A and B are shown apart, each in its own frame.
Chain A
Amino acid sequence: MILLLQTAIRCSAAFIYGCLGEIVTEKSGHLNLGIPGIMCSGVAGGCLGVSVYMRSLQDPALASYIMIVLVGVLGAFLFAAALGAIYALLTVSLKCNQNITGLALTTFGGGFAQVVMDNFVKTSDSITRVNFSIASSKIASPLPFAENLGWFGQLFFSYGILVYLAIALAIVTAIIFNRTKIGLRLRAVGENPAAADAVGVRVNAYKYGAILIGAGIAGIGGFFYVMDVVQGLYESSGPIEAIGWLAIALVIFTLWKPNLAIIGSILFGALYMLPSFLDVPSQIVNALLTMVPYVATVVVLIVISVLDSKENQPPASLGLNYFREDR
């Protein structure tokens, strides 16, 4: 049981990053369906950073923990934000259709990541394999005092630093949304950009900011998945796209609330990991179990629409581009 929870929580961090990135983006009124691709490019960025850093060292085994985390996270963030910048340029400045732009980015991101990984990171290289397993073991290393606390420690302190970063980010985002001027303005931009514009909020600046930061956060999720969940084995990072889609669904599930994103992600993490845990021999049952997160999202959608509450709705102008001179 504890093992399932532990795996669920570890895996949930990938969801938290993806979901949080999408929430930040959607709060500005932009539906970024490019999140799966952006998470892939986060993998590329993070791995490239780690790989370049470790190759520069004489002995990779002596690589510093802080540098690996820093270089990886930064690389992932920057690469993902670069894709976010493409999305922002197309949808905010050039007013392209958000759905199509996002879908195009998803396709592009996957291919882009593959190219970077094959040609610059050289994943098939044995040096890289060794480097990544070292990096992974460092990134995924539990907090030092976890072992002394029994099951409690196992449940709460046995994860790598990036899991805690995800939770911290979610909480900080929630505070920013609800307690600060920036959050208020960002929400206003997503709800009614004309209203925000009329009171002097720089609508496009907020949109760019939210999209770039949102994409960056989602990118860290991809990097985290490769380094922590699958222990540095890029070959088994295939499900990242699926996680990206689930993260987008999760946004609806969590009602656009970063706090709920933590709980929702753990739940999705558990549901996602359930098939491999139960080890049901039947293919069909396995397939049905894999479906559960998606079904849960549909159910939530229905519940929201039946309740018709004004509070738990998507940002009012989600998916609509803002033209100031439009009537």
Chain B
Amino acid sequence: MEGKVALELRNITKTFGKIVANKNVNLKVYEKEVLSILGENGSGKTTLMNVISGIYAPEEGEIRINGEVVYISSPQDAFKYKIGMIHQHFKLVEVFTALQNIALILEKGQKYDLKEIRTSVKNICEKYGFEIDLDKKVYNMSVSEKQTLEIIKVLYRGADILILDEPTAVLTPQETKKLFAVINNMREDGKSIIIITHKLNEVMEISDRVAILRKGEYITTVSTKETNEKELTEMMVGKKVDLRIERVKTEIDKPLLEIRELSIKGDDGSKKIEDVSFYIRGGEILGVAGIAGCGQKELCEAIAGLRKIESGFIMHEGESLVGLAPKVIIEKGVSMSFIPEDRLGMGLAPNFSITDNMMLKTYAENKVYMIDEEELATYPKWKAFSIRAWVAIKTFFSRPFVDRKSARKKANKLIEKLEISTPSTETPVRRLSGGNIQKVLVGREIESSPNVIVTAYPVRGLDVNSSYLIYDMLNEEKRKGTGILFIGEDLDVMLALCDKIMVLCHGKNMGIVHASKTTKEEIGLMMTGSLNLSETKNKEYGKAKDSNLTEEEWQKQKEEAEKEGE
């Protein structure tokens, strides 16, 4: 490799309590190159980058910049050595404009002159090809805009070594393309760029070299040209992995969840879902494709009973779910898990342990004491009776208490099954890494053995191995006859995993296609609204012929709804 070494790490070790996040990591970054850091969730990628950028102090090891040993004990120090980090969770002040956020980094002696900052920021934008509205408040920005702002901030400060923590996890393919163009421009300009990611195709596309971490340990660095995706995965996971997704064949059942003519309003009062009809059968995975923010979230929330609907029907095995409390809907066997863009949000209490979080869902269930009827039959009558009475008493008195033991058992099962790395079942989930938190949430929803699973972005930001564990779990549920609504991002995955795919565009159903008969291009066209299959077909689109309700019954439902409306 030609070029100068810009940054070198030697034997870096960082621990959090008993967890060893990084162990003897060695790394070199050259000038004018893009280095990918590849590793599974919890392999210590983010921690390592936080060490470089001064957020964490390493316990051992040294950092060299341009050959000299340096001590980076705070973000200021990092900036002094021209290291800039773009965090996975953006560090922006929401109520400030883009320009104010940039002005925040002014150093001592620099004048607070917004005009001057504006011109120099504009220069940076032109140089590298950024597009940004400097007077927009951050809370009005899309994720991609926020990210752009973060990068500009770092460049404005004059960074030569840029660290991007999972920059593409939340971007659309088009936005990713733009980002990569910018990264290439920066590389041409002589900057060193470190990208943390676990999307293999992106690694192959953008980086010159790849460093691999596994469970906090440094494995090796390879040149991108001399490797391939399969080899990288094996190094990352430490074993051979099958990269194919299986589409399980099952016997399809009657429709479990039928949705007709559903319209939902969003928080801002605009229609987020408009006249959408579809159904899910037992033993079937229905994918939902669409550009982010096309009503996916509202749809999920409506099904789970968290959001009021405008009009339409949500029928579960012939019974309406509209207007029911979320808890009742859960009891009927409908589970919903939504992984938001920032991945921390909905569904888990960060300060609770895994056990506690498991209990959040099951707290209302009472402890069940088993009676072995066969054994009981061999006992004399009075003994059998007293055993029954004892169990009844125990059950009665255990009512006010939550059942910790079984929750812990479930937590342990989940940890084992999904390979969640955590010191114990009692560690607060906020101490786990992002991917592990997500595994807990998705795992809990699937483990509650529902008959309809609504899951949105379950593998968002998960590494290859964990993603496949989730796919396997979904397939297993499918085999059991569960109906699954899978809202996803990655079209390749959806084409391989789902039976049918519904495409949403601005809240409208663009059509439902069989995954085995369609192409990525067709879905892409539908996502942007240029192709609408539902218009060309008849009016009954998305309505099951073998519905649980007869036409008369549907009619009756409609009339009732109208009456209520009055």
Q: Which A residues have a C-beta under 8 Å from some C-beta of B? A: 179-181, 184-185, 187-188, 191-192, 194-202, 310-311, 313, 316, 324-325, 327
Contacts and interface: CB of A to CB of B under 8 A. Distances in A.
A188 B102 CA distance: 11
Given A195-B92, A198-B75, A198-B87, 15 more contacts: A181-B103, A181-B106, A191-B95, A192-B92, A195-B90, A195-B91, A196-B93, A196-B104, A197-B91, A199-B105, A199-B157, A202-B76, A310-B94, A324-B55, A327-B430
Contacts of B480: none
Contact of B91 (A181, A194, A316): A194
Interface centre among A184, A187, A188, A327 (most CB of B within 10 A): A327
B536 to A, nearest CB: 42
B32 interface: no
Contacts of A316: 94-95
B363 interface: no
Contacts of B106: 181
Nearest to B46: A327
A200 B79 contact: yes
Contacts of A200: 74-76, 79, 105, 107
22 contacts: A179-B112, A181-B112, A184-B112, A188-B104, A191-B94, A191-B95, A191-B96, A192-B92, A194-B91, A196-B93, A197-B75, A198-B85, A199-B157, A200-B79, A200-B107, A201-B104, A202-B76, A310-B95, A310-B139, A316-B95, A325-B55, A327-B430
A191 B93 contact: yes
A317 to B, nearest CB: 10
B75 A313 contact: no
A325 B57 CA distance: 9
Interface string B65-99: 00000000011100100000101001111111000
Nearest to B139: A310
B56 interface: yes
A314 to B, nearest CB: 11
Contact of B93 (A179, A181, A188, A202): A188
A186 to B, nearest CB: 11
Contact of A184 (B91, B104, B139): B104
A199 B153 contact: yes
B479 interface: no
B137 A310 contact: yes
Contacts of A310: 94-95, 137, 139
Contacts of A181: 103, 106, 110, 112
Contacts of B56: 325
Q: Is the interface of B mostly helix, strand, loop or mixed?
A: loop
B431 A188 contact: no
Nearest to A310: B139
Interface centre among A180, A192, A195, A316 (most CB of B within 10 A): A195
A180 B112 contact: yes
Nearest to B76: A200
A199 B93 CA distance: 11
A192 B93 contact: yes
Nearest to A324: B55
Nearest to B437: A327
B355 interface: no
B83 to A, nearest CB: 12
A311 B93 CA distance: 12
Contacts of B75: 197-200
A83 to B, nearest CB: 30
Interface centre among B55, B91, B112, B139 (most CB of A within 10 A): B91
A324 B95 CA distance: 21
A313 B95 contact: yes
Nearest to A313: B95
B509 interface: no
B532 interface: no
Contacts of B74: 200
Contacts of A194: 91
B41 interface: no
A31 to B, nearest CB: 18
B93 A195 contact: yes
B22 interface: no
Contacts of A325: 55-56
Contacts of B91: 192, 194-195, 197-199
Contact of A327 (B100, B137, B431): B431
A327 to B, nearest CB: 6
Nearest to A196: B104
Contact of B96 (A188, A197, A201, A202): A188
Nearest to A189: B93
Closest 8 CB pairs of A and B: A195-B91, A200-B76, A199-B105, A198-B91, A181-B112, A191-B93, A188-B93, A192-B93
A179 B76 CA distance: 24
A188 B104 CA distance: 8
B377 to A, nearest CB: 55
A274 B112 CA distance: 45
A26 to B, nearest CB: 14
A181 B114 CA distance: 10
A187 B137 CA distance: 15
Contact of B94 (A179, A180, A192, A202): A192
A184 B100 contact: yes
A292 B92 CA distance: 39
Interface centre among B74, B92, B110, B139 (most CB of A within 10 A): B92
B524 to A, nearest CB: 34
A184 B55 contact: no
B86 to A, nearest CB: 10
A192 B87 CA distance: 14
Contacts of B93: 187-188, 191-192, 195-196
Interface in B379-438: 430-431
A311 B110 CA distance: 28
A25 to B, nearest CB: 18
Nearest to B78: A200
B112 A311 contact: no
Contact of A185 (B92, B104, B110, B157): B104
A198 B56 CA distance: 12
Nearest to A316: B94
A38 to B, nearest CB: 28
Interface centre among A180, A198, A200, A201 (most CB of B within 10 A): A198
A200 B77 CA distance: 8
A310 B90 CA distance: 18
Contact of A199 (B104, B430, B431): B104
Contacts of A192: 91-94
Contacts of A187: 93, 96
A198 B83 CA distance: 11
B352 to A, nearest CB: 14
Nearest to A194: B91
A188 B85 CA distance: 18
A48 to B, nearest CB: 38
Interface centre among A188, A197, A310, A311 (most CB of B within 10 A): A188
